[in-house]
Amino acid sequence: MILMKEGIRKINDSLYSVKTLIKWLFLGTFIGFLVGSVCSIFGHMLVWANDYRLEHQRISMLLPIGGLLIVFMYRVWNNEDDKGTNTVISSIHSNTGIRTRMAPLIYASTMITHLLGGSAGREGAAIQLGGSIANRIGKELSLNDNDQRIMIMCGMSAGFSALFGAPMAAAIFSLEVISIGIMHYSALVPCVTASMTAHFLSGYLEVKPEAFTVVSIPEFTPLIFAKIIVFAALAGGVSVLFCICLHQAGHLYKKYIKNRYLRIFVGGCLVLLLCALLGTNEYLGSGQGIMEHIFHHEETKWYSFLLKMVFTALTLGAGFKGGEIVPSFCIGAAFGCAVAALFGLPVTLVAACGMVGVFCGVTNCPITSLLISFELFGFEGMPYYLTTVVVSYMLSGYYGLYHSQRIMYSKTETNFVNREAK
């Protein structure tokens, strides 16, 4: 009798697992298709916006006016306290949900920022778009709280995958970024399904994925291993500096300029003034042009990574909308290019290491960082990327782009710390 009950229990467990698999395969595919469609169209619009700005550079003079429009839209829609990706992460921790009205606001505000030259990325918008759409679908289906959290993570993965073109990294990112040290493995199947579906769809819709060519990868020797450790430590320091710049810029803006309209107008003016003082517009936008120049020509100004930090901090701190991840890639690539000669290593290889090192430091996501290195640069440089990622992760401390991110376990000890990122 006992054996029979045990057998029935195992059968029921297996049936439940199969039922759950089918449910999440269906929901993941649906979310991937829906979010992938929206974000693919959004991706094409952003490409148009950036191309138009490059062809008509005087349009950047309207950046302060565009900022006023962004504040006005968020005030009209009663969403002034939106904190970007932090809002999505907080909704998963607290199960408070995400306002559906965020989607059109994110669409419009990010388009304005990119069209007029604000130094910001696009993945933040993709994560928020995906999260808000998936959250709404979950509510319409009357899913329970746990399933609702998984739905939001599905949307995040689908949005990231569609817009950035790194499906493996996108699938893991939403699982890893929420609580550092704890992975929500129950969301693996739905997030992978949503990410892959969005990736296939974005490819069909001809969204160009990110990819860079590392032209030379020398043999990984003990001496080179030591060099990469040193470089990774420096990259971790750069990631901390970037986080401090972003957070302090936002703090100083709010401290000295209380009015939101005046704050974003001044921020836009400061960006334009800095462009005028430098005599160049190359630091406007996400930084894609700088990265492409580095990987094609193996050169950039040694201080480019510092200027990109400043431009991004001035833009996002003032209240313009967009992501921080692509600028972090640009900062990492520029830093790697600047110091490559000091380490006697190929420029493109060190630039690639810089990209994943800074990305890991600002997001606290080592697994995602390693996966994204494979998708962006290929597998051949794996020892370089792995070393950079793990060292940068440890030495970046508890700093991060997202204050809502929970760091559950210490980076240096097996201790439970449960603290927010700085």
Look at residue 404 in the predicted model and tell me its pLDDT: 79
Asked if residues 57 and 257 have their Cβ atoms less than 8 Å apart, the reply is no
CA–CA gap between residue 200 and residue 186 (Å, rounded) = 23
Look at residue 338 in the predicted model and tell me its pLDDT: 95
Look at residue 336 in the predicted model and tell me its pLDDT: 97
Look at residue 417 in the predicted model and tell me its pLDDT: 82
pLDDT at 13 over 70: no
Tell me the CATH class for 2-204: mainly alpha
- pLDDT tens sequence across 24-58: 999 999 999 999 999 999 999 999 999 999 999 89
Look at residue 358 in the predicted model and tell me its pLDDT: 97
pLDDT at 292 over 80: yes
Question: CA nearest 134: which of 43, 35, 20, 29?
Answer: 35
Look at residue 15 in the predicted model and tell me its pLDDT: 81
94 confidence band (pLDDT: 50, 70, 90): low
Is residue 352 classed as helix, strand or coil in its secondary structure?
helix
> DSSP secondary structure string, 283-336?
TSSSSHHHHHHHHHH----TTHHHHHHHHHHHHHHHT---BSHHHHHHHHHHHH
CA–CA gap between residue 92 and residue 146 (Å, rounded) = 9
Looking at residue 210, the DSSP 8-state letter turns out to be P
Highest mean pLDDT (candidates 88-97, 142-151, 190-199) = 190-199
Q: 179 phi and psi, to 5 degrees?
A: -135, 105
Asked if residues 387 and 349 have their Cβ atoms less than 8 Å apart, the reply is no
Asked if residues 350 and 336 have their Cβ atoms less than 8 Å apart, the reply is yes
Look at residue 194 in the predicted model and tell me its pLDDT: 96
Decide if 2-204 and 222-420 have a common fold: yes
Mean per-residue pLDDT over the chain, rounded: 90
**CATH ID of 222-420, from 1.10.1660.10, 1.10.3080.10, 1.10.1060.10, 3.40.50.261:** 1.10.3080.10
1 confidence band (pLDDT: 50, 70, 90): low
pLDDT at 10 over 80: no
Looking at residue 208, the DSSP 8-state letter turns out to be P
pTM of the predicted structure, to 2 decimals? 0.93
Look at residue 6 in the predicted model and tell me its pLDDT: 63
9 confidence band (pLDDT: 50, 70, 90): low
Domain map (residue ranges) of the chain: 2-204, 222-420
More reliable by pLDDT, 277 or 410: 277
pLDDT at 421 over 90: no
Q: Alpha helices of 118-221 — where are they, by DSSP H? A: 123-140, 145-164, 167-176, 188-204
Question: CA nearest 285: which of 56, 114, 133?
Answer: 114
- pLDDT tens sequence across 314-367: 999 999 998 899 999 999 999 999 999 999 999 999 999 999 999 999 999 999
pLDDT at 93 over 90: no
Looking at residue 280, the DSSP 8-state letter turns out to be -
Look at residue 123 in the predicted model and tell me its pLDDT: 79
pLDDT at 276 over 80: yes
Mean pLDDT, residues 257-280: 95
Q: Alpha helices of 101-140 — where are they, by DSSP H? A: 102-115, 123-140
CA–CA gap between residue 121 and residue 258 (Å, rounded) = 26
pLDDT at 398 over 70: yes
Look at residue 318 in the predicted model and tell me its pLDDT: 94
Per the DSSP assignment, residues forming a β-bridge with 180 are 407
